[in-house]
Amino acid sequence: MLALVIGSLTLFTIGALLVKFATADGDFTLLFKGRAKRERVEGKVVWITGASRGIGEVLAGQFACLGAKLILSARNVAELERVKIETIGKYPGTNIEILPLDLASGEEALKDAVKKAESLFSASGVDYMVHNAAFERPKRKALDETEEGIQATFNTNVLGTITLTKLLAPFMLKRGGGHFIVMSSAAGKCPAPGQAIYSASKHALNGYFHTLRSELYPEGIKVTVVCPGPIETSITSGAGSSASGSSERRVSSERCAELTIVAATHDLKEAWISYQPVLLVMYLVQYMPTIGFWFMDKIGGNRLEAAKRNGDTYSWKLFFGEKKKTA
């Protein structure tokens, strides 16, 4: 009788976990953390790059809702002003400063930006640096990528982000603490056929920031690397990060921002945000790489085909080869 009860409970637990995994929109560690800790954010200075649209804009709203003071950066000043006005409209009393910034503008310009950011809000300094800005090109074969495309991607996603970190971290160290939140990607964990250069740039960020944390953690520097799969953003960037016209199933940018703040305020070192099948691929590549890479090798060519006809580039069907749409 006891064996029957234990057996039934075990089967029930396994079943419940499988259902949870099939319907999950993030990794298990993240999903079991619950809500964001307001007390970790309230009154803190949060600097967000790429805040003029997409996930960065939504992050600004959610940090404002939790009582943070915001520094918003991107290149498009008019869009930053719009985000500022709309955020204050939703959360009156929020302190927001705009700091225009081109991540590809070189060390001197970034040094100025860091000095300005540190001097805002009575020079209280930056508590959270959210590295969200990125440049993504339309999907294409790795060997078709141009030199200009490679440089533009690395200048913004990698070199600018790393230089900004190198310039800001000493101020944080002087204060005895600071937290970098890095918006990486599932493409920073797994192969991403059609996005080789973007994937390479995100792998570079993962390598840099996990290493940085391992060096500076004892001195109070925290790093949370967030790896989202496909996310729905309101505006299509034209670079393929949003899939207007395609049937791709994406986590909303509101949920992505919410889980990002949960991950950071619970001090997670890495968090994954995605529906299936991307989440499964991430688990396979991380914990069973031989199977994970075999899976991706089956998918690669089919994904390139799907991207060419603006089809679903995150579908289970890619494993078997999607039927081509007839014109």
Does 101 interact with ligand NAP (rule: CB under 6 A)? yes
Does 194 interact with ligand NAP (rule: CB under 6 A)? no
- 53 close to 233: Cβ distance less than 8 angstroms: yes
User: Is 8 or 315 the residue whose CB approaches ligand NAP more closely?
Assistant: 315
* Residue of 22, 49, 18 lying closest to 129 (CA atoms): 49
Taking the C-alpha atoms of residue 192 and residue 189, their distance in angstroms, rounded to an integer, is 9
- The H or E element containing residue 108 is helix 107-123
Please count the CA atoms within 13 angstroms of the CA of 48 that sit on its side-chain side. Answer: 30
Q: Could you give the string, one character per residue 269-298, with x where binding to ligand NAP holds by CB under 6 A and - elsewhere?
A: ------------------------------
- 97 close to 48: Cβ distance less than 8 angstroms: no
User: Is 1 or 147 the residue whose CB approaches ligand NAP more closely?
Assistant: 147
Taking the C-alpha atoms of residue 271 and residue 147, their distance in angstroms, rounded to an integer, is 32
User: Is 80 or 304 the residue whose CB approaches ligand NAP more closely?
Assistant: 80
CA distances, 1 to each of 9, 10, 41 (Å): 12, 14, 51
Residue ranges of alpha helices (H) inside 124-179 are 147-154, 161-175
User: Is 145 or 173 the residue whose CB approaches ligand NAP more closely?
Assistant: 145
Least distance to ligand NAP from the beta carbon of 274, Å? 8
Of the residues 178, 230, 292, 311, which one makes contact with ligand NAP according to CB under 6 A = 230
What residues does 180 pair with on adjacent strands? 129, 223
From 18-26, 46-54, 165-173, 298-306, span contacting ligand NAP (CB under 6 A): 46-54
Of the residues 62, 87, 94, 132, which one makes contact with ligand NAP according to CB under 6 A = 132
Taking the C-alpha atoms of residue 36 and residue 263, their distance in angstroms, rounded to an integer, is 8
Q: Which residue has the tokens 């937290």?
A: 179
Please count the CA atoms within 13 angstroms of the CA of 4 that sit on its side-chain side. Answer: 1
Least distance to ligand NAP from the beta carbon of 149, Å? 13
- State yes or no: is 198 an active-site residue: yes
Of the residues 128, 135, 272, 314, which one makes contact with ligand NAP according to CB under 6 A = 135
**Catalytic residue from among 91, 198, 208, 275:** 198
- Counting residues that bind ligand NAP (by CB under 6 A) gives 30
Q: Kindly list the residues in this chain that would bind ligand NAP in the complex (CB under 6 A).
A: 49-50, 52-56, 74-76, 79, 101-104, 132-136, 156, 183, 185, 228, 230-231, 233, 237, 241-242
Q: Which are the catalytic amino acids? A: 198
